[in-house]
Amino acid sequence: MDNGNDRFKYLKLAGKIREKIDRKTYLAGERPPAIQELHEQLNISISTIYRAYVELEKEGLIEARPKSGYYVRPFEPNKLHSVPCHISPPDPDKIDSVSVARSVLESISSPKLLPLGAAVISPDILPHRQLARILKEISVQEMRSINRYATAEGAPGLRRQIALRTLGISEGISADDILITNGCMEALTLALKTVVQKGDIVAIENPTFCRLHNLMEQLGFEIAEVPVDPKNGLVVKELEKILHTRKVKACLFTPNFHNPLGTLMPDERKERLVTLLNRHEIPVIEDDVFSDLHNGKGRPNSLKVYDRKELVLTCSSYSKILTPGLRIGWIIPGNRFKEKVWKLKTSVSISTSALDQYVLSRFMSSGMFDRYLRSLRTTIRKQVRDTALAVEKHFPKGTRLILPQGGMLLWIQLPHGVNSLEVYKRALEQTISIVPGIVCSASRDFTNFIRINCGYPVTELIRKGIATLGRIVDELCMESHSKHLLVSGAKNNTQAHVESSFSLGCTPLLVEGSRS
Amino acid sequence: MDNGNDRFKYLKLAGKIREKIDRKTYLAGERPPAIQELHEQLNISISTIYRAYVELEKEGLIEARPKSGYYVRPFEPNKLHSVPCHISPPDPDKIDSVSVARSVLESISSPKLLPLGAAVISPDILPHRQLARILKEISVQEMRSINRYATAEGAPGLRRQIALRTLGISEGISADDILITNGCMEALTLALKTVVQKGDIVAIENPTFCRLHNLMEQLGFEIAEVPVDPKNGLVVKELEKILHTRKVKACLFTPNFHNPLGTLMPDERKERLVTLLNRHEIPVIEDDVFSDLHNGKGRPNSLKVYDRKELVLTCSSYSKILTPGLRIGWIIPGNRFKEKVWKLKTSVSISTSALDQYVLSRFMSSGMFDRYLRSLRTTIRKQVRDTALAVEKHFPKGTRLILPQGGMLLWIQLPHGVNSLEVYKRALEQTISIVPGIVCSASRDFTNFIRINCGYPVTELIRKGIATLGRIVDELCMESHSKHLLVSGAKNNTQAHVESSFSLGCTPLLVEGSRS
């Protein structure tokens, strides 16, 4: 909703300056352009420029020094390297990803674990007061309207609010195109069961979020994994190859702020992807939960924009960004699949909580939601940078990550030989929760990757936790090194394997561990 | 929870007197035993007896006449007949039961239709004020605990409250045995997917609730239909025969207050059923949503009581009796299936609304729930009788029903030749919603049955609606009669078919239409 609105000009400007800082046009320690200078050059009001700088300051990109103005804060990656896609052979030990997922989920409700695992936002950021006020103001008369079955498709008011905010998907989306679900997982489940049969092959990303593998297994679908390039997202060429060799019946992708990579697929690639799948008449399910956490330039395009055959089913929810306590998600199935999705929803779960729908609808229609979302974007962006800086400081050399283009996750490559499942286990012993990379891949790749949640501000506690993680990785590095010395005959060709992966060019968005 | 508690002695006494009225020991127009007499005979305090009589008066069973005391109110069935199970051959027209179900569901949210279709309670009876007060009292601090992912199994507090009230299931049930779901439909879905594979055969009742067929179809299961005897529930002998001829992998039954029949399966038959299924190692899913609407003698036994092999999975919810606005159900899967159900739930829908769980848990722990439930039982019992009386008055001869032993539904047999789908259509034109019997049967039996909801008090509006239904049935009777005269060669053997069904003996719980 920010796009094209004068009121949010400052965000656009902040975005431009941010890009220049990220791309090292403005270096750390240097001063960004003076306010007066920008005012004259760009014909933008001084107050707008000032607001943009305050915004960047909030994000931790620049800092005000007394009597001296703004300076770019230090954020120095030591070396520029890509995060490769495939890094090491599958782990021989079978891992029950369901129990890791369970452990991750349990860590959320356990106040004893440091919440770096699941993708959740700190409770301190969530709008408890506003939501409590909405509950307080629900009259007995309104309660009467809540205390009934909602229709299967969901409350019209809520669907309208969602339609208003998903205009980016395509001009024609209205309340009638949206069906409310019990969170995004139910939306994905409905979408999958609508377009594929048990035993069919579904193409998914590698890596992807660990819950997806459990879901595919439980629903009885086969998986074809498509690699993801950390800079541009899903590798369409690879998908094309797979389509020639395997009978893929549907795809499930996350083009906007991929989980775990954080990658935003460029529009040109989205178009290529959808055109390819349209040509093969293959439905594609789009997981869109992180789109609202974009970096200031408006909600990125949905795959629907490029769809000519009603083959894109978009699923999303606000569980990740507003509150996981309300189980509200939705699906925009398109005309081709609408009736089938509806029938499935009404058969399997009848309807979605009327109370939850009412509360969310009120929160959105009051304007509180948009205010909350604007401030949330700034907060999360800062937290992601702060977390990345802490990783850079505390993790050993050989650690690498790319700053995500949106969302709230960091995908971290650990030095070669470090088994992230071991990191996960030792971290749990130190009451720290993380996601080991291996559960993000059906073929058990990414054994030396971890995913870290940046939903929490980097307090002293979080910083200490990250330092502990760094020490654990250190220990494992050394253990791996001594093992390596024992098995002296082994060919050291893994490095080559790393380099053979995607070349990203010298993008300056990379961070590397600094401790040696 | 009423059982064995002195405070609820009067309810027990009321139950005994009610039974005597139902069984015509005390006839209409006669006086029930004098208070003094009962006091001396049974050694029960006068105030307890008085409360029992007030209770029966509330239910409409007896009435106080000025200066004369209590009298049994008239409730005279004209003839005693059983409601047979199979009444007419399947309708040739294919009926899309999903669209009928959709129409029924839509009728609930439409204030323009008379709500005799879906099994819902009048909003005037629901505890809006109490629920609104709970919402109002949720502090910001409590909101913080709500605004997080609930664990897959659900909030411990709520599970404890449910465990406290399902002791009847078996002594050992604790919070740990219960898993919270998005309503009972999700519980049934999880249970089915846990014990059967796509393409497997599941035994269900005939008739049963119409949503179940949609669910089975959507999940891709085959169906074996077992007839239900209106007096004693599922016919175990028939099930046994089916087990010999077809490879049944699981059963899904409603032993307590069957939908639509309202039948309570006697304990002896429950035991026989579970013993049979235990012997064959066949899991049985029990739909338990109406158990709390029992007629005053405590919650009836669950099938679990007779289970020796952890093969009973009990599913329930309070959507029907408290509010459909909170989507909360639960499953008690037993130790054998617990882990599998948990994995499925966490994969498919992660968790259930934390807000809904909190509100329900508070309502239950405050004591409001038990008070509400006691008064609800009395109200519903009266409404069921009043509705039955209105049917007796306004429906033509040949209409028959049995007063249900619990729950809130009436299953009405219309005169032979009346197509209930036509009744459904004409009723909709008159803005009245009912459930045509044909959607309660996969083999499309019960073409001349309808199900009527008694969740609403019989106001003038409802009475008029029932009168309109009676007129519609009248019209169709006459139309069917003139058709019959035209097709004079047809053998009239349908009556014999009727009589060949279950003989129930002369149970006096039958009502018959009186208009000629």
| Domain co-membership, A136 together with A285 | yes
Cα dihedral sign, B136-B139-B144-B149:
negative
Q: Are B354 and B149 within 8 A, CB to CB?
A: yes
pLDDT at B85: 33
pLDDT at B445: 87
pLDDT at A258: 97
Strand partners for B294: B406
Residues in contact with B55: Cβ distance below 8 Å, sequence separation at least 6, in sequence order: B10, B11, B14, B378
Q: Which among B337, B270, B328 has a CA at the least distance from the CA of B304? A: B270
Picking from B101, B108, B353, the nearest residue to A326 by CB comes out as: B353
Residue B256 has pLDDT above 90, yes or no: yes
Q: Do B105 and A343 touch (CB under 8 A)?
A: no
B80 domain residue, yes or no: no
Extract the tokens encoding B456. 């609403």
CATH number at residue A117: 3.90.1150.10
Residues in contact with B508: Cβ distance below 8 Å, sequence separation at least 6, in sequence order: B22, B23, B24, B77, B80
pLDDT per residue over A440-456, tens digit each?
998 888 989 999 999 99
pLDDT band at B191 (very low <50, low <70, confident <90, very high): very high
pLDDT band at B512 (very low <50, low <70, confident <90, very high): low
Q: Which among B382, B400, B195 has a CA at the least distance from the CA of B282? A: B195
Q: How far, in Å, CA of B285 to CA of A201, rounded?
A: 31
Q: How far, in Å, CA of A17 to CA of A32, rounded?
A: 8
Residues of B in Cβ contact (< 8 Å) with A106 = 151
Q: Are B303 and B286 within 8 A, CB to CB?
A: yes
| Domain co-membership, A240 together with A364 | yes
CATH number at residue A52: 1.10.10.10
Q: What is the H or E stretch that residue B347 is in?
A: helix B338-348
| Domain co-membership, A119 together with A176 | no
B272 domain residue, yes or no: yes
Query: Which residue, among B182, B209, B215, would best test binding to A if mutated, counting the most A CBs under 10 Å from its CB?
Result: B182
Using the CB atoms, write b or e for A300-336: b if 16+ within 10 Å: bbbbbbbbeeebbbbbbbbbbbbbbbbbbbbbbbbeb
Over residues A264-285, the mean pLDDT reads 97
Picking from B123, B220, B350, the nearest residue to A183 by CB comes out as: B350
Residues of A in Cβ contact (< 8 Å) with B98 = 343, 346-347
B414 domain residue, yes or no: yes
Identify the residue whose tokens are 């993008």: A507
Q: Which among A263, A115, A287 has a CA at the least distance from the CA of A215? A: A287
Q: Do A349 and B327 touch (CB under 8 A)?
A: yes
pLDDT at A82: 35
Picking from B106, B148, B152, the nearest residue to A325 by CB comes out as: B148
pLDDT band at B168 (very low <50, low <70, confident <90, very high): low
Q: Among B57, B72, B87, which residue terminates a domain?
A: B72
pLDDT at B99: 67
Extract the tokens encoding A491. 């060919």
Least confident of A473-477, A512-516, B487-491: B487-491
Picking from B98, B323, B352, the nearest residue to A327 by CB comes out as: B352
Strand partners for B413: B400, B449
Q: How far, in Å, CA of A326 to CA of A360, rounded?
A: 8
Residues in contact with B212: Cβ distance below 8 Å, sequence separation at least 6, in sequence order: B188, B204, B252
| Domain co-membership, A114 together with A153 | no
Q: Are B390 and B432 within 8 A, CB to CB?
A: no
A243 domain residue, yes or no: yes
Q: Do B356 and A351 touch (CB under 8 A)?
A: no
Strand partners for B233: B229
| Average pLDDT value for chain A | 84
Over residues A78-91, the mean pLDDT reads 34
pLDDT at A349: 83
| Domain co-membership, B184 together with B324 | yes
Identify the residue whose tokens are 């029966």: B56
Query: Which residue, among A104, A137, A355, would best test binding to B if mutated, counting the most B CBs under 10 Å from its CB?
Result: A355
Q: CA dist B54 to B5, B57, B70, Å?
A: 19, 5, 10
Cα dihedral sign, B128-B130-B131-B137:
positive
Q: Do A135 and B140 touch (CB under 8 A)?
A: no
Q: Are A188 and A213 within 8 A, CB to CB?
A: no
pLDDT at A501: 29
Q: Do B143 and A136 touch (CB under 8 A)?
A: no
Task: Give the DSSP per-residue string, A277-304.
Answer: HHHTT--EEEE-TTTTSBSSS-PPPPGG
Domain that residue A246 falls in: 129-368
Give the closest-approach CA distance of B78 to chain A in angstroms: 38
Identify each DSSP E strand in B188-291 by its residue range: 201-206, 222-229, 233-234, 248-253, 284-287
Residue of A nearest to B123 (CA): A144
A80 domain residue, yes or no: no
Q: Among A368, A395, A413, which residue terminates a domain?
A: A368
Residue type, B483: K
| Average pLDDT value for chain B | 84
| Domain co-membership, B50 together with B177 | no
Query: Which residue, among B98, B99, B100, B109, would best test binding to A if mutated, counting the most A CBs under 10 Å from its CB?
Result: B109
Over residues B243-259, the mean pLDDT reads 97
Picking from A215, A348, A355, the nearest residue to B189 by CB comes out as: A348
Q: Which among A207, A23, A125 has a CA at the least distance from the CA of A383? A: A125
Give the closest-approach CA distance of B183 to chain A in angstroms: 7
CATH number at residue B195: 3.40.640.10
Q: What are phi and psi of A51, to 5 degrees?
A: -60, -40
| Domain co-membership, B113 together with B233 | no
Q: Do A108 and B326 touch (CB under 8 A)?
A: no
Q: Are B250 and B282 within 8 A, CB to CB?
A: yes
Q: Among B345, B368, B391, which residue terminates a domain?
A: B368
Query: Which residue, among B180, B355, B357, would best test binding to A if mutated, counting the most A CBs under 10 Å from its CB?
Result: B355
Q: Do B185 and A118 touch (CB under 8 A)?
A: no
Extract the tokens encoding B397. 């001869």
Extract the tokens encoding A451. 């995913």
- Count of CB atoms situated within 10 Å of the CB of A66: 5
Burial class (CB in 10 A: 0-12, 13-18, 19+), A211: buried
Residue B510 has pLDDT above 70, yes or no: no
Beta-carbon-side half-sphere exposure of residue A142 (alpha carbons within 13 Å): 17
Residue A338 has pLDDT above 90, yes or no: yes
Burial class (CB in 10 A: 0-12, 13-18, 19+), A412: buried
| Domain co-membership, A248 together with A352 | yes
B481 domain residue, yes or no: yes
Size of interface A-B (CB pairs under 8 A): 217
| Domain co-membership, B323 together with B189 | yes
CA dihedral of residues B132, B138, B143, B147 (deg, nearest 10): -30
pLDDT per residue over B274-286, tens digit each?
999 999 999 999 9
Using the CB atoms, write b or e for B60-85: b if 16+ within 10 Å: bbbeeeeeeebbbbebebeeebbbbb
Give the closest-approach CA distance of A169 to chain B in angstroms: 25
pLDDT at B492: 37
Q: Are A249 and A196 within 8 A, CB to CB?
A: yes
pLDDT per residue over A128-187, tens digit each?
999 999 999 999 999 998 998 778 899 999 999 999 888 666 667 889 999 999 999 999
Task: For residue B179, give the 3-state DSSP assignment.
Answer: strand
pLDDT at B346: 86
Q: How far, in Å, CA of B182 to CA of A61, rounded?
A: 44
Residue of A nearest to B182 (CA): A349
Identify the residue whose tokens are 């395009």: A301
Distance of CA A363 to the CA centre of its chain: 23
Q: Do B352 and A146 touch (CB under 8 A)?
A: no
pLDDT per residue over A93-122, tens digit each?
445 556 666 666 666 656 678 989 888 899
Q: Are B100 and B439 within 8 A, CB to CB?
A: yes
Residue of A nearest to B131 (CA): A143
| Domain co-membership, B68 together with B114 | no
Least confident of A62-76, A235-249, B191-205, B444-458: A62-76
pLDDT at B47: 82
Residue B5 has pLDDT above 70, yes or no: no
Q: Do B148 and A108 touch (CB under 8 A)?
A: yes
pLDDT band at B210 (very low <50, low <70, confident <90, very high): confident
Give the DSSP letter of residue A114.
E
Residues of A in Cβ contact (< 8 Å) with B185 = 347-350
Q: Do A327 and B353 touch (CB under 8 A)?
A: yes
Over residues B33-49, the mean pLDDT reads 81
Which ipTM did the prediction report? Answer: 0.77
Query: Which residue, among A124, A350, A358, A368, would best test binding to B if mutated, counting the most B CBs under 10 Å from its CB?
Result: A350
Query: Which residue, among B107, B121, B137, B148, would best test binding to A if mutated, counting the most A CBs under 10 Å from its CB?
Result: B148
Provide the pairing of β-strand A222-229 with A233-234. antiparallel
| Domain co-membership, A316 together with A447 | no
Residue of A nearest to B192 (CA): A348
Q: How far, in Å, CA of B169 to CA of B492, rounded?
A: 48
B142 domain residue, yes or no: no
Over residues B155-180, the mean pLDDT reads 85
Reduce the secondary structure of A155-219 to three states and give it as a string.
CHHHHHHHHHHCHHHCCCCCHHHCEEECHHHHHHHHHHHHHCCCCCEEEEEECCCHHHHHHHHHH
Give the closest-approach CA distance of B218 to chain A in angstroms: 6
Q: Are A114 and A465 within 8 A, CB to CB?
A: yes
Provide the pairing of β-strand B233-234 with B222-229. antiparallel
Provide the pairing of β-strand A62-65 with B248-253. unpaired
Over residues A407-421, the mean pLDDT reads 93
Q: Are B165 and B330 within 8 A, CB to CB?
A: no
Provide the pairing of β-strand A248-253 with A284-287. parallel
Over residues A259-273, the mean pLDDT reads 96
Residue B327 has pLDDT above 60, yes or no: yes
| Domain co-membership, A109 together with A35 | no
Q: What are phi and psi of A371, to 5 degrees?
A: -60, -45
Residues of B in Cβ contact (< 8 Å) with A183 = 349-351
Extract the tokens encoding A111. 């106040």
Residue of B nearest to A120 (CA): B148
pLDDT at A90: 33
Residues in contact with B489: Cβ distance below 8 Å, sequence separation at least 6, in sequence order: none
Q: How far, in Å, CA of B437 to CA of B502, rounded?
A: 18
B117 domain residue, yes or no: yes
Q: Do A182 and B349 touch (CB under 8 A)?
A: yes
Residues of A in Cβ contact (< 8 Å) with B101 = 346
Residue type, A222: E
Q: Which among A373, A286, A386 has a CA at the least distance from the CA of A331? A: A286
Over residues B463-476, the mean pLDDT reads 96
Structurally, how many domains does chain A consist of?
A: 3
